[in-house]
Amino acid sequence: MTRSCLAIVLAAGDSTRMKSSRSKVLHPVAGKPMIAHVIDALQAAGIAEVALVLGRDADQVEKAAARPGLSLASFIQTERLGTAHAVLAARDAIAKGYDDVLVVYGDTPLITEAPLTSARSGLQDGNDVVVIGFETADPTGYGRLLVENGALVAIREHKDATEAERAITLCNGGLMAIDGRKALDLLGRIGNSNAKSEYYLTDIVEVARAAGGRASVVVAPEAELTGCNTRAELAYIEKLWQERRRREFMLAGVSMIAPETVFLSHDTVLAPDVLIEPNVVFGPGVTVEADAIIHAFSHLEGAHVGPGATVGPYARLRPGAHLGADAKVGNFCEVKKAEIGEGAKINHLTYIGDATIGARTNIGAGTITCNYDGVNKHETHIGADAFIGSNSALVAPVTIGDRALVASGSVITDDVPAEALAFGRARQTVKPGRAVELKARYQAAKANRKGSKD
């Protein structure tokens, strides 16, 4: 679109019903602040200029909204006198002159590019105002859209609506596009004689028509316009977001056996032919490549899983875990800040942190990289085709060469050269017949004790 556009994001609400010490729009959905979801939708719609209308936590909200390539201006609404009053807090930005002014809410994080672009197209078609509406089974509380012969004639707030108007199920989503050249004039004509004595942005429809202009509606899916006022609504929005993203992944070739039990992050990347088993949680920063399998009950964060690799069941990948192609991290293993080579295996009950492990190396059950001395972190480097016997403690900093072998139960404190065998434990001694002897001695002692008590 060649028309210039300013988006105004209303986020000055005091979030009373969230019962939070933070601004509502800072609360995360899929690990990303609500305000950032809204900004990303605006950027996806090609909008580069944004005015934020803020109340509390202005600095933090600004930080969460900042993006490269986005010009951001903030305006503080000191008194909360209604949505039209809030938009006018950004008066100086509007006055710069834009073809389109788009008003969106900071607490409507599921909005996508499509209805924003449609609303702007409506302006191009000659409307002064285009409202984004939705159909709902339960319209209680929303402004109702009064439509006659395809034109939007008014928006009636629930509190001000008649019985007949309350029966209308086409509602105001709150987001709208306004002709940028007329916006200040129209907004300036809005009064506050209504049930709440607020300056309602919604009155702009009647104001525009009274001035000889036109208004219309674009209808968006109800889910996209779901607003957040309470923690319960926040959880509902999270649920809708998760459902939407899981579905996108499945349609893009990712298999999920029980999708409703998989939790994704806003930035999770899953390639086609990845299989996700039930009850898997993705924290931020995870990429999984093709043909990898994430088995049940695994938790991944800041990790990269290479093609054909397998994780879990019950595995934990922490930030900096980087699994090469066909690597395996099995049950009750934790991997942090470690490069795991192609085809390497860490199958059972192991902690690998601050380490590199070469291709095809096998890490036995119960191996621990002792990376922390209580003050500093140290690194463990293990070469390719090495074998670490079960229950070994590798005390970092330590290096184990290619094709080296560490005997099980070892405490390795010195480097092991390539192709060497290292024992770090006491030698076993065997005493023939001593087991039977020992047992007889114990039995005799027990009988003795009993006799002395009688």
* Cβ atoms of 53 and 31 closer than 8 Å: no
Q: In terms of CB distance, is 230 or 408 closer to ligand UD1?
A: 230
CB of 1 to ligand UD1, least distance (A): 25
- Annotated active-site positions, please? 348
Q: What are the Cα distances from residue 124, in Å, to 50, 100, 179, 303, 431? A: 20, 9, 9, 45, 95
Q: In terms of CB distance, is 33 or 174 closer to ligand UD1?
A: 174
Calpha distance 297→416 (Å, rounded): 35
Interaction partner, residue 220 (ligand UD1, Ca ion, none; CB < 5-8 Å by kind): none
CB of 41 to Ca ion, least distance (A): 18
Q: Does 115 bind Ca ion (CB under 5 A)?
A: no
Distance, C-alpha 384 to centroid of its chain = 36
Q: In terms of CB distance, is 119 or 254 closer to ligand UD1?
A: 119
CB of 203 to ligand UD1, least distance (A): 8
Beta-bridge partner residues of 270? 288
Interaction partner, residue 416 (ligand UD1, Ca ion, none; CB < 5-8 Å by kind): none
Q: Does 57 bind ligand UD1 (CB under 6 A)?
A: no
Q: Does 306 bind Ca ion (CB under 5 A)?
A: no
Q: Using CB under 5 A, which residues numbered 225 to 254 contact Ca ion? A: 227
- Give just the sign of the alpha carbon dihedral 198, 199, 201, 202: positive
CB of 229 to Ca ion, least distance (A): 6
Q: Does 33 bind ligand UD1 (CB under 6 A)?
A: no
Q: What are the Cα distances from residue 447, in Å, to 174, 439, 442, 454? A: 88, 12, 9, 11
Number of residues that bind Ca ion (CB under 5 A): 1
Q: Does 280 bind ligand UD1 (CB under 6 A)?
A: no
Q: Where are the alpha helices (DSSP H) in 344-416?
A: none
Using CB under 6 A, which of 58, 72, 81, 290 touches ligand UD1?
81
Number of residues that bind ligand UD1 (CB under 6 A): 27
Using CB under 6 A, which of 33, 115, 143, 312 touches ligand UD1?
143
Q: What is the largest CA-CA distance in the chain?
A: 113
CB of 213 to ligand UD1, least distance (A): 19
Please list, in sequence order, all residues whose beta carbon lies within 8 angstroms of the beta carbon of residue 390, skipping any fewer than 6 positions away: 364, 365, 366, 367, 408, 409
Beta-bridge partner residues of 72? 50
Using CB under 6 A, which of 23, 127, 172, 265 touches ligand UD1?
172
Q: What are the Cα distances from residue 95, in Å, to 51, 91, 131? A: 12, 6, 21
Distance, C-alpha 174 to centroid of its chain = 25
CB of 100 to ligand UD1, least distance (A): 19
Q: What are phi and psi of 117, to 5 degrees?
A: -70, -40
Nearest to 330 by CA among 363, 370, 306, 302: 363
Calpha distance 452→41 (Å, rounded): 86
Q: In terms of CB distance, is 18 or 321 closer to Ca ion?
A: 18
**Residue 272: both structure tokens together:** 């086609």
> ∠ at Cα 334 (331, 339), nearest 5°?
115
Q: In terms of CB distance, is 129 or 416 closer to ligand UD1?
A: 129
> Residue written as tokens 């707030």?
157
Q: In terms of CB distance, is 133 or 424 closer to Ca ion?
A: 133
Q: In terms of CB distance, is 112 or 391 closer to ligand UD1?
A: 112
Calpha distance 91→308 (Å, rounded): 55
**Residue 192: both structure tokens together:** 């506050």
Q: What is the x/- site pattern for ligand UD1, positions 174-213, by CB under 6 A?
A: x-------------------------xxx-----------
Q: Using CB under 6 A, which residues numbered 282 to 341 contact ligand UD1? A: none
Q: In terms of CB distance, is 172 or 399 closer to ligand UD1?
A: 172
Q: Does 171 bind ligand UD1 (CB under 6 A)?
A: yes
Interaction partner, residue 401 (Ca ion, ligand UD1, none; CB < 5-8 Å by kind): none
Strands 304-305 and 287-288: parallel
Q: Does 134 bind ligand UD1 (CB under 6 A)?
A: no
Residue numbers of the site for ligand UD1 (CB under 6 A)?
Answer: 10-13, 53, 77, 80-83, 85-86, 105-107, 142-143, 155, 157, 171-174, 200-202, 227
Residue numbers of the site for Ca ion (CB under 5 A)?
Answer: 227
